[in-house]
Amino acid sequence: MKKQYRGCSRLYYAVRTVDDKGVATYGTPKQIAPCKTVSNTVEQSVEKVPADNKAQYTVKSGVSDVRTFDTFPIPFEVLAEIFDDTLVKVGNTVAYGVNPDAETVEVAIGYALHDGKEDEPCELVWAFRATAQKRPDVVANTIAEGDTASEGQQIAFDLLSPEKAWTKTGKKNPSICVPVVDGIDVDAWFAQVVTWDNVDELFPTT
C-alpha cells in the first residue's frame, strides 16, 4: 500500500455522464468545499505463482486508488448531487435527506496540489471517473484559520479508469496532472474538465 499526503486547494467536481456509444461528457465544475489536504492511497493485489518449489512470476491485479480530502463543511447542495440524495427548498433554507434508492453518481474531481506555498499551487489535477465512498461525517478535528476554528469533514473518492482509451495516449489513463508553469492559467484549469484529449486545445504551446 502506498499513501501520500499533500497540501490541497480548489477542490472541484463535475458530474459525468456516458451515452449509448460509451462517450463521456462532463457538467460544469462546481466547488465541493474549501480544502486543506489530500491523501492518495494506492493498493495492488500481488500474487506469486509457484513452480518447481519457487516463485516463477508475479501476477498483479486489483489496483485501488483512493483520494481522501480534508475539507471545511460541504454544502448540502453539493452532497445531494454527489450522492443522489434529496434536497428541498424550505423557506429561506433547504432540507436535506438521504435517498435510500440513490444511484451511484460518477464525477470528475479537480484539485490543486501545494508543496509549502499556500498561495501558489505546484500541480493541477483532474481525475476523470470517481465515485464517493460514503457520506462524510463531521470529524472531531478542527481546521484552524487564524484565531477561529471550524469543524471539518473528510470525503473520499474511488478512482476508476475510463471505459475508453484516450485518443492522445492510447491508454485508459484515470487522471491528468500538470505542473504549474508560465502559461498555465490556474483559474482556466477549473472552468471545465481538462482531459488528455482537450488539454492541447485549452492550453496550447506558445
**Where are the chain's structural domains?**
2-45+56-202
Task: Give the per-residue pLDDT at 10.
Answer: 95
From the list 34, 22, 10, the residue with the least C-alpha distance to 109 is 10
Single-letter amino acid, residue 23:
V
Identify the three-state secondary structure at position 187: helix
Where do runs of H (alpha helix) occur along 113-185? none
Closest CA to 127 of 7, 12, 8: 12
Distance CA 93, CA 38 (A): 30
pTM for the full predicted model: 0.82
Per-residue pLDDT of the chain (206 residues; tens, 9 = 90+): 445 557 999 999 999 999 888 889 999 999 999 998 998 887 655 555 555 555 544 444 446 789 999 999 999 999 999 999 999 999 998 888 889 999 999 999 999 999 877 778 999 999 999 999 988 876 544 455 554 455 689 999 999 999 889 999 999 999 999 999 887 899 999 999 999 999 999 888 76
